[in-house]
């Protein structure tokens, strides 16, 4: 028996957001994410929220108008299979591309953007940075 659990992928990211509706629309418009669950009935674990995503990525969003993205998360990343379309799509949606455009790494290239709450998102051409 192994000494540790064998995790195979990231399940979800749980995020406080400034404006739930604006954030949901950002992820729907830029990534085509769908609302997977709309929970407006608080229970002992969570406040009203929405879970959005696709078959591989889930974002659990909780509105908190006083939240700040400063602190624990520097950024989170998505691998994007249609990487060459990122700049055009961001331009169409008026999404700011950080660092003046694509950033080259040894085995990959990434584009960085901000969501409506100020979270940085890395969009990578090669999954895991090619590592």
pLDDT of residue 22: 95
Residues 6+ apart with CB under 8 A from 40: 48
69-127 pLDDT, tens digit per residue, is: 776 677 889 999 999 999 999 999 999 999 999 999 888 999 999 999 999 999 999 88
Residues of the chain above pLDDT 70, percent: 88
**What pLDDT is recorded for position 91?**
95
CATH tag, 13-66+73-130 = 3.10.180.10
- pTM metric for this prediction: 0.83
Q: Would you place residue 9 in the very low, low, confident or very high pLDDT band (cuts 50, 70, 90)? A: confident
When the pLDDT of each residue in the chain is averaged and rounded to a whole number, the result is 86
Instruction: Identify the pLDDT of residue 23.
Output: 95
Task: Assign 46 a pLDDT band (cuts: 50, 70, 90).
Answer: low
What is the token pair recorded at 85? 């379309």
Burial class (CB in 10 A: 0-12, 13-18, 19+), 125: buried
């Amino acid at each position: 028996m192994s000494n540790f659990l064998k995790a195979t992928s990231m399940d979800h990211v749980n995020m406080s957001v400034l404006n739930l509706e604006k954030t949901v629309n950002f992820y729907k418009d830029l990534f085509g994410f769908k609302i997977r669950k709309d929970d407006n009935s608080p229970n002992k674990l969570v406040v009203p929220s929405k879970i959005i995503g696709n078959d591989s990525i889930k974002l659990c969003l909780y509105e908190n108008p006083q939240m700040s993205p400063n602190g624990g998360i520097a950024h989170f990343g998505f691998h994007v299979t249609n990487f060459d379309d990122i700049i055009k799509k961001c331009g169409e949606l008026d999404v700011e591309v950080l660092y003046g455009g694509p950033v080259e790494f040894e085995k990959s290239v990434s584009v960085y953007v901000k969501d409506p709450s100020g979270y940085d998102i890395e969009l990578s051409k090669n999954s895991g940075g090619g590592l």
